[in-house]
Chains A and B, each alone.
Chain A
């Protein structure tokens, strides 16, 4: 593995750089690195790799957290750019990590309660009826242009108001794309924050909701739309 004539293995060099060595062994490796150019080169490679990983992962990390909500355990996740995931459909952390892993392939997933504290607060306030809009950044970059346009349009629907799918399609200037609009709303990764629950059918029925229609009804009830409680 290592240099010609050198008994030190790459694993030992790695162990030194990783900080797994201690005591005499570590001291001897320090001495060895001063003398053996090949092992030194390996150690330098690992230092550089560490810096590369650090740069890529810090910027790429998807940070997540959870809190208890009236809907059960609520998971939230954010990239550097903003909130990118809100869901109460995952039964546990493992299920969340699996979903996030598919949505953000290759990006590190880190539990970071502090980074998401403001979002947890704002969502809790929403559930308590004390908040009518969210004023923190949202990151929809992982979506297609079409999906993003649909969600941006949905985001502008005021608290407590509902509009039909067809109206959303009209607002993004794709009046015939109603079905696609419905699909895009159904894949909204930041439920509640982008209020796709405020988009309903034009016949007065509530229409579907990925989290379950009963949640759509509950969200609209929080927003004071008790008139929609009985809608189909």
Chain B
């Protein structure tokens, strides 16, 4: 009996935890190589489920939803860790205090020099790629709306987003992988 298609609108987080906690814990431990971090992320998954529950009606897939939240949270955790390592390598005094950095990729702030670099590379993208990336990643539009604004097809809107993101990733990689002088 899977606790998926409950008739009640209340999210039965306890039942989900009972059914899926062990496999999610294994999944997160594999991603994070740390049982403690995995446990932290797992707690956040239940909090998210309580605050912003998935559609648990018939035909919905709570398990897939939980995996998505858990995986994205774990990616944020890894992203924060990478930023922390990078900051330590710069001997940033604020970071070197041993304080816990929240499990949140947003926990870092870009310096002005880094911002300028991001700006310059965004500006260097071909126009359609730049606009498509912006609309998808910042405005959160779907491809049909992007296509309408760019006067193209949804497939080509999506291709523009992907090409732009791939180019930015390769050009901006050193923002988080190497030292970036202040």
Contact with B along A46-61 (1 / 0, CB 8 A): 1111111111111110
A96 at the interface (CB under 8 A from B): no
* B83–A48 CB distance below 8 A: yes
In the complex, whether B119 has a CB less than 8 A from a CB of chain A is yes
> Considering the chains assembled together, what is the distance between the CA atoms of A11 and B2 in angstroms?
33
Indicate if the CB atoms of A44 and B82 lie closer than 8 Å: yes
Residues on the B chain within 8 Å of A26, using CB: 64, 67-68
The reply to whether A106 and B64 form a contact with Cβ atoms under 8 Å apart is no
Q: Bound state CA distance, A15 and B31, in angstroms? A: 19
Q: Which residue of A lies closest to B27 (CB)?
A: A34
Contact (Cβ within 8 A) A45 B115 = no
Interface size on B, residues (CB 8 A): 47
Complex Cα distance A15/B166, Å?
A: 11
Q: Is B178 an interface residue (CB 8 A)?
A: no
Q: In the complex, which of the residues B64, B82, B105, B165 contacts A23, with contact meaning CB atoms closer than 8 Å? A: B64
A153 CB to closest chain B CB, in angstroms? 30
Whether B75 pairs with A43 at a CB distance below 8 angstroms is yes
The majority secondary structure among interface residues of chain A is helix
Q: Is B41 an interface residue (CB 8 A)?
A: no
Tell me if B134 is interfacial: C-beta within 8 Å of chain A.
yes
Which residue, of A10, A49, A110, has the highest number of chain B Cβ atoms within 10 A?
Answer: A49
Contact B120 A106 (CB under 8 A): yes
B20 vs chain A, min Cβ distance (A): 12
**B19 contacts chain A at the CB level, 8 A cutoff:** no
Contact residues in A for B110 (Cβ distance below 8 Å): 52, 55-56
Across-interface contacts of B118 in A (CB, < 8 A): 52-53, 56
Q: Cβ of B161 < 8 Å from any Cβ of A?
A: yes
Partner of A108, one of B106, B138, B161: B138
Q: Which chain B residues (23-70) contact chain A, with CB distance < 8 Å? A: 27-28, 30-31, 61, 63-64, 67-68, 70
Binding site for B on A (CB under 8 A): 10-11, 14-15, 17-18, 20, 23-24, 26-27, 30-31, 33-35, 40, 42-60, 105-108, 110
* Contacts A/B (CB < 8 Å), 20 sampled: A14-B162, A15-B162, A18-B161, A23-B64, A26-B64, A27-B64, A31-B67, A34-B27, A45-B176, A48-B79, A48-B82, A49-B165, A52-B172, A53-B133, A53-B134, A56-B110, A59-B115, A106-B119, A106-B120, A110-B139
Q: Which 8 A/B pairs are nearest by Cβ-Cβ distance? A: A106-B123, A34-B30, A30-B67, A30-B71, A47-B79, A56-B118, A27-B64, A34-B31
Chain B residues engaging chain A, CB cutoff 8 angstroms? 27-28, 30-31, 61, 63-64, 67-68, 70-72, 75-76, 78-79, 82-83, 105-106, 108-110, 114-115, 118-120, 122-123, 133-134, 136-139, 158, 161-162, 165-166, 168-169, 172-173, 175-176
